[in-house]
Structure 1
Amino acid sequence: MAQQYTRKMICEAFIKMLNERPLSKITVKDIATACGINRNTFYYYYTDVYALLSELFQTELQTVIDEYNDTLSWEESFILAARFALENKRAIYNVYNSMKREELVNYIYNVSGNVMIRYVEKMSESIPASAEDKKLIASFYQCALTGMVLRWISSGMKEEPETIIRRIGQLFNGNIELSLKRSDVLDVR
């Protein structure tokens, strides 16, 4: 119980700092001081600040997976998944502009993939699409959503992501189902 509390305290202090300054300006000493622990305690849990960042994104991904509701549209699911980014815009921007951008890109890619794979599977329950095509359709939308989010971050996160996601949903409404139906009639190569 104490270990979970300490991990949570370290993570919260780290997120708070990320919302205040660039990743490169955050040290283990800063985090330990903010938590009222010594550096050895930090190193008991994490090898460095980057390991903490990686765990933070993994934890957020697991939260998305745990909270996913099959009755939601992919749009609602993606908006739900974007909650962490919305609550911590400056932290996300600071990671995006750091040498650890890859951690953020992987997080966004994994969230997009999780949402789209589940949605495509749900949509294909009554459509006999091939497994390869279902994977291809989910991958296409995963890449598209990842690219859109990265563009949003690079442009300063000015637009409301909920508005953009809903608009994409309206513009592409029915395309996933149509693609799945096409899979059933196309020759497998």
Structure 2
Amino acid sequence: MKKQECRERTQRQLAEALEFYLQKKPLEKITVRELIEKVGINRKTFYYYFPDIYGLLEWMVTQESQRLIFEIQNQEDYENSLALVFDSIEKNRHFVNCVYDSMGRDALVRFLNKDFRKVISWAMEKGMEDVLKRNGGKITETSNPLGIEQKFLDTLVDSYIASIAQILLLYLQKKSPFNKQECIRFILRYLQSTIPAALEEFAK
């Protein structure tokens, strides 16, 4: 077996072992010894791949995010992409809550950042088209036809990601007044009603 294939297999097995124990107890009570015994490797091998269990968890978050981004890119529009993100998070609710409980809100936002950045950027492009149509402008191939400074666009995207992350966090903690479909509808209406106005303001 090639070295890269061996590495990926071992990392995947360790991730599966961690997922197994996360169903039974909190992350802080899981030991490296338990993981390596379940996978059948020695301690040295574990530390060759990861600095600690938190490093393994971070790797798992990155892998899931990359998988989700790949799927998002195959969607036809940002509405479907948003639903896809919610479906994935709903499916992995326990794992996502473990990330929040073990690594804090910032880690969860970093996880969501990659997933939602594509969705929000997509919504921004649609918002620019709406602004141009409303003002009789011509839609071009450029990703920024309104000529807004990139720092303003980046800050807008970051602010929307933070807002959506908060909505999602409340949903995951079962503190939201909305069910999943209502959350999705709320976010879509929020994006559709505010993005064009914000873009129009910054384009002045």
TM-score (norm 2): 0.75
CA contact (8 A) 2:75 2:81 kept: no
Of structures 1 and 2, the larger Rg is shown by 2
Correspondence for 1:106: 110
Alignment partner, residue 27 of structure 2: 23
- Give TM-score scaled by structure 1 length: 0.80
The residue aligned with 2:166 is 147
Q: Distance in 2 between matches of 1:174 and 1:113?
A: 18
Deviation at 1:64, TM superposition (A): 2.5
1:38 to 1:5, Cα distance in 2 relative to 1, 3 A: same
Superposition deviation, residue 74 in structure 1: 2.9
Change (3 A) 1:149 1:12: same
| Map of 2:183 onto structure 1 | 164
Percent identity between matched residues is: 26
* Distance verdict in 2 for CA 1:155–1:13, change over 3 Å: same
Shift of 1:9: 1.2
For 2:34 and 2:86, the matched residues in 1 are separated by: 28
1-structure distance, mates of 2:174, 2:35: 29
For residues 118-155 of structure 1, the C-alpha deviation after alignment (integer angstroms, 9 at most, x for no partner) is 43245436341403443233222111101111222333
Greater RCO, 1 or 2 (C-alpha within 8 Å, sep 6+): 1
Gaps of 5+ in 2: 130-138, 140-144
Structure 1 position 78 matched with structure 2 position 109: no
Letter in 2 for 1:109: N
**C-alpha contact (below 8 Å) 1:124/1:180 kept by paired residues:** yes
Q: Is the 8 A contact 2:167 2:176 kept in 1?
A: no
* Number of residue-to-residue matches in the alignment: 184
Unpaired segments ≥5 residues, structure 1: none
What secondary structure is seen at the aligned counterpart in 2 of 1:97? helix
Could you tell me which residue of structure 1 aligns to residue 8 of structure 2? 4
Query: CA distance change for structure 1 residues 157 and 85 in 2, over 3 Å: closer, same or farther?
Result: farther
User: Which residue is equivalent to 1:49?
Assistant: 53
Of stretches 76-85 and 3-12 in structure 1, the one that deviates more from structure 2 is 76-85
